[in-house]
Amino acid sequence: MRKIWKTLVISLFLSLLIVQSALAALPFKIQSDSVLLMEAASGEVLVDKDSAKSLPPASVTKMMVMLLVMEAVDTGQIKLTDKVVASPEACRMGGSQIWLEPGEEMTVEDLMKAVGIVSANDASVALAEYIAGSHEEFVKLMNKRGQELSLASTNYVNATGLAPDGNGPGNITSAQDQALLARELLKHPTVLKWTGTWIDSLRGGESFLRNTNNLVRFYDGCDGLKTGYTNEAGYCLVATARRNGVRLIAVVMKAPTSPVRNNEITKLFNYGFSQFKAIKVLSAGQVLGKTKVMKGQVTEVDLIIPEDLLVVLKKDLQATPEVLVKIPPKVRAPLAQGAPVGEVVVMIDGETKVTAPVVTASAVEESGFFRFLWQITKNVFEGCFH
């Protein structure tokens, strides 16, 4: 019996040492239940405190709503200019809202503005109903997309984050899952136009909007993403900021107060920006090569990089980026200006860090039949004499 107690005491002591070691690894004191700091380009995690812990997300839920809306826009299922008619179901949502009236029309873009800036529950449900036909069907889409993104700790029961009717189990997620979701959402930078806005309005200026994320105003470079609060969830925030080409994602779950939430996100950002640097590898508009054009009014076209290409590295890393340009030997007209026809890969020590499209510098129209025939004849003769 004494041996068993001795073993238990030793196990408990070792467990405490492991916990203390994990806490000691944090660069500063954290009061929130769970936090995570990620460098967005690589997905590298810099700070982690219980990021896999299952917790309620409150209105952070709406990041999945925004993602599904933007993916529906990208596929052509809906347009930002589409008019959405508010249902009685959407209008009865409590909490943060824009006071939609049954039958009121508002564009998808304005509803996204309401979700991104003031976390409007009524706007979120109106969007859900517009995309899936009903709130319930949209929740199925949310969970399906969560599974596709490997959000292992996430389950949605609604599109708002509010406690469900009947006080059943609500939405559940983790800081780790929300960082992954944020990284996916950032592939649609249009959302930052809304989540990064401090003050705006709807209904021709009649409805005032002020961002629930104070860091958008008070932290240089912060342009999103989503706040959340309920009694059960505490104060949550998934934030992103960009400085000097470096973008970070910081997640705080179940902070005890709003000031603590903002303070800990600020600490995470400050720490992250102290660790990384961005190096410009290629400049926007730089010609990376040419490719032959079949059936075009010209026989070849310049290929360029459309935007500055940056690679993000740890500040203490001294390495020379290796640039690989992949261009097809020929393409077929017609080609729009800026059409992607190849890619450039940036590698550091054999590891791929960035992949970006190579695009046409100018448009190429398709040639007529006789010009095409002349080109073929010309190519045949040139081939005979070379």
Active site residues: 59, 62, 119
Secondary structure (DSSP) of 231-267: TTTEEEEEEEEEETTEEEEEEEEEESSHHHHHHHHHH
Question: ∠ CA 149-126-108 to the nearest 5 degrees?
Answer: 80
Cis check for the bond before 14: say yes or no (omega within 30 of 0).
no
351/348 Cα distance (integer angstroms): 5
Tell me which DSSP letter residue 58 carries.
G
| Bridge partners, 347 (sequence order) | 322, 352
Cis check for the bond before 357: say yes or no (omega within 30 of 0).
no
Look at the block and give the residue holding tokens 């290796």: 322
135 in Cβ contact with 128 (< 8 Å) = yes
> What is the distance of C-alpha 142 from the center of its chain?
15
- The closest of 364, 372, 367, 370 to 341, measured between CA atoms, is 364
Look at the block and give the residue holding tokens 């500055």: 308
204/30 Cα distance (integer angstroms): 43
